[in-house]
Structure 1
Amino acid sequence: MPDKPSFLQEELQQLSVTRDNAEAMVEPLELGKRVREIRLSQKLTLEEASKLTGLARSTLSKIENEQISPTFTAVNKLVKGLGIDIPQLFTQPKKKTPGSGGRRDITRCGEGKPHPTPTYEHELLATQLSSKKMIPFKTTVRTHSWDEYEDWVRHDGEEFLYVLSGSIMFYSEFYEPIELHTGDSAYYDCEMGHALVSTSQKDAEVLWVTA
């Protein structure tokens, strides 16, 4: 049996490319700029920040403009005066694409994108969203025998499995097979071989979320 259906491999590859591109675009930290961002986020003037930190206004200005590097003592005063911790000071804030925090995708019952395989009948969900951090899909488990598999299913990432109806035998490479019933769930490493077999009279249905 081939590895996980091509749609999942392609989605996982896209997630990997997106993350790699994001990491490649990380800019080196400019400490002065970071100090200024924190000060402005708290709506503080240089004078107000000077009083809070005990650093001279001129010293703060030079730090923010990258004219001098803060000493260890100055860093401690900045952290204490601005009410932050050291990781906040030395960590680049995450950049958000405008509108990226308000995305939404609705998939009506039965309106997912079908993707049949010899053993599974997949219904892909939330297909209108690109660059997703998770890949959700609902699956009808057609196979009722382990003999229908030629090999383990394995791929990159981690996966959450939730049984929607019926019952399944969950096979995993390093554990004994376990039967899961409606409402049961499993979370596992996808690089470990795995496969599902319906044990109920009707084909079981499961919800899968891959990250």
Structure 2
Amino acid sequence: MSEINTPEGISSQLGQCLKAARQARGLTLKQVAERTGMALSTLSKVENGLMSLTYDKLLQLTSGLQMEIAELFNPLVGRLDQDRPVTARRSISRAGQGQVIATRFYTYTYQCTDLIGKRMVPIVAEVRARSLEEFGPLLRHAGEEYFLVTSGRVAVHTEFYAPEILDAGDGIYLDSTMGHAYLNAGDEPARGVCLCTSEAPDLYDQLRRIASRDSPAGD
């Protein structure tokens, strides 16, 4: 049995927390149903305190919404970031500074490498590969990213969309778990700034390992 009836207080709390979590993500009940594969009527009953869920359904719900299960029993859990103490961390990247990984087809210069545990990894990139054959396998890693072209033209290839051409000043935001590649689509050098973000604590190491696979020294 997927759903269970529980004491009114527990059902009411779960419903309130589900509603708070849904609204915090700007989702409708229909969108929650689509993301989780759960019936819209079931979700409506839960939000209204008329029904609770078994553990497997709670996991299905939280997995679909990419949230911690604790948030369904304490709405403050989803807002912990707002209450985090100010760390006052900062790092300045001067022109020409950064950790460089260079190959025949691209050069990545990682910025602000003195900070550890960053949620965002900023990279200055020069793209030289002009074909997928040169570039190699599409890149995939945790999180999401934004790539802003600063000079030249860049062709963005992804596994689910037709290629797009970006000129200087154009940018693209994409799901980094989707296969993707940036290629030089012009006659001049193509450069850009890429911002990668993820909840994974080892994102920086993941990105360096991926970039290093084609470096001459296999760094």
- Normalised by the length of structure 2, the TM-score is 0.51
Which residue of structure 2 lines up, in the alignment, with residue 192 of structure 1? 178
Aligned pair partner of 1:204 in 190, 197, 200: 190
Distance 1:192 1:117 in 2: 23
Which residue of structure 1 lines up, in the alignment, with residue 68 of structure 2? none
How big is the shift at 1:203?
A: 2.0
2:134 is the counterpart of 1:171: no
How big is the shift at 1:206?
A: 0.8
2:79 is the counterpart of 1:103: no
Superposed CA deviations along residues 41-83 of structure 1, whole A, max 9, x for unmatched, are xxxxxxxxxxxxxxxxxxxxxxxxxxxxxxxxxxxxxxxxxxx
- Cα distance change, pair 167–189 in 1 and its aligned pair in 2 (3 A): same
Which residue of structure 2 lines up, in the alignment, with residue 125 of structure 1? 111
Residue type at the aligned position of 1:207? V
Distance 1:148 1:142 in 2: 9
Q: 4+ runs of 1 displaced by more than 3 Å?
A: 92-97
Number of residue pairs matched by the alignment:
122
How big is the shift at 1:90?
A: 6.0
Which residue of structure 1 lines up, in the alignment, with residue 40 of structure 2? none
Which residue of structure 1 lines up, in the alignment, with residue 147 of structure 2? 161
How big is the shift at 1:118?
A: 4.0
How big is the shift at 1:192?
A: 0.7
Superposed CA deviations along residues 119-172 of structure 1, whole A, max 9, x for unmatched, are 210111011111111000100002122221332111111011100100011101
- Cα distance change, pair 90–181 in 1 and its aligned pair in 2 (3 A): closer
Asked which structure has the greater RCO (Cα within 8 Å, sep 6+), the reply is 1
Which residue of structure 2 lines up, in the alignment, with residue 115 of structure 1? 101
2:122 is the counterpart of 1:136: yes
Distance 1:156 1:147 in 2: 24
Residue type at the aligned position of 1:169? A
How big is the shift at 1:180?
A: 0.3
Aligned pair partner of 2:137 in 151, 155, 161: 151
- Cα distance change, pair 195–90 in 1 and its aligned pair in 2 (3 A): closer
Which residue of structure 2 lines up, in the alignment, with residue 28 of structure 1? none
Distance 1:175 1:143 in 2: 20
- Cα distance change, pair 157–118 in 1 and its aligned pair in 2 (3 A): farther
| Structure 1: gaps of 5 or more residues | 1-86
- Normalised by the length of structure 1, the TM-score is 0.53
Q: Indicate the percent of aligned positions where both proteins have the same amino acid.
A: 32
Distance 2:165 2:76 in 1: 45
Residue type at the aligned position of 2:116? S
- Cα distance change, pair 139–91 in 1 and its aligned pair in 2 (3 A): same
Superposed CA deviations along residues 90-142 of structure 1, whole A, max 9, x for unmatched, are 62684646x61x11100001111111134210111011111111000100002
How big is the shift at 1:186?
A: 0.3
| Structure 2: gaps of 5 or more residues | 1-71, 198-219
DSSP-derived class of the 1:148 partner: helix
Distance 2:149 2:133 in 1: 22
